[in-house]
Structures are given as C-alpha cells and as structure tokens.
Amino acid sequence: ILKAVYNAGHEIGNHTFNHEKLTTLQPEDIKQQIQSTDAIIKSTIGQRANVFRPPYGSYDETITDQLNVPNVLWTIDTLDWKHRDPKKTVLAVKEGAKNGSIVLMHDIHQTTADALDEILATLQKQGYEFVTVSELLGK
C-alpha cells in the first residue's frame, strides 16, 4: 500500500509504529516509534517521511526534539472516526475550509471514503487547490 500511495504522487508522513500516545512514553520508546517507522518507510520507497503527525495530536518538546521533519497537525477535525457519518464529515469540511486548511480524516473507515468524492468536488468548485503538506509549508 505504501508503495502504491507513494507512486501515485502522495506525500508520505510518519505517524508512528503503533499509534500510541507519545506523551505517555519514555523518550527511548518515543525514539523507537519514530525511527522504526522511518526505517520501514525508507526501505519501502527509498526515502524517509517528509512530515510527522503525532497520534491524537499529542506532543511535547521531548517529541519535537527528536524530529528531523515538521510536526504537522490539522486545522479541521472531521471527527469521522467518532460519528462515522459521511454527511457530518462533508459538513465539517464545508464549514471549516479556508486557504491553508489541513483536514483530518481516517482512511480506515468506509464512511470517510464515502464522503471523499463530495468533499473533493465541492472544494474544487470553490477554487481550492490540493497540495502536499510540504508544499503548503513552503518546504
């Protein structure tokens, strides 16, 4: 899956190995979560992740001090994982979208996938352009 996503032109980010809340871990465990994921990404696609997003958006200086890439959060939380309702997911994006928005959605839920076509079509009609996080950050 990682190769296919990368080959389709998407940016690859590190989101840790086990999706644990990093602020509850010891520094060596945090390092392991980040570095083991980077190693797998590099061995699979030939390069490391360009960005990092901590699980649950939970981070502190202990975590950011270990990063060699930008720590990126979201500006729109669709809460798709919680309500699992495509209409609510679409509405969250429509109501929150503005230039520079980063939308948080989870690809593990079919209901999120069901909302995606309408979200993309609506934002395109409104003139939004989709870019990678690195492009958004000017990296």
3 state SS of 14 = strand
pLDDT value, residue 139:
75
Instruction: Report whether 59 contacts 14 (CB < 8 A).
Output: no
DSSP annotation of 82 reads H
Distances (CA, A) of 82 to 3, 28, 106, 109, 118: 29, 31, 10, 10, 20
Q: What is the pLDDT of residues 41-80, one digit of tens each?
A: 999 999 999 999 999 999 999 999 999 999 999 999 999 9
Q: What is the pLDDT of residues 5-29, one digit of tens each?
A: 999 999 999 999 999 999 999 999 9
pTM here is 0.90
The tokens for 70 are 């930008």
Indicate the angle between helix axes 86-96 and 110-125, nearest 10 degrees: 30
Backbone angles phi and psi of 52, in degrees to 5: -135, 140
Mean pLDDT of all residues in the chain? 96
The tokens for 68 are 């060699």
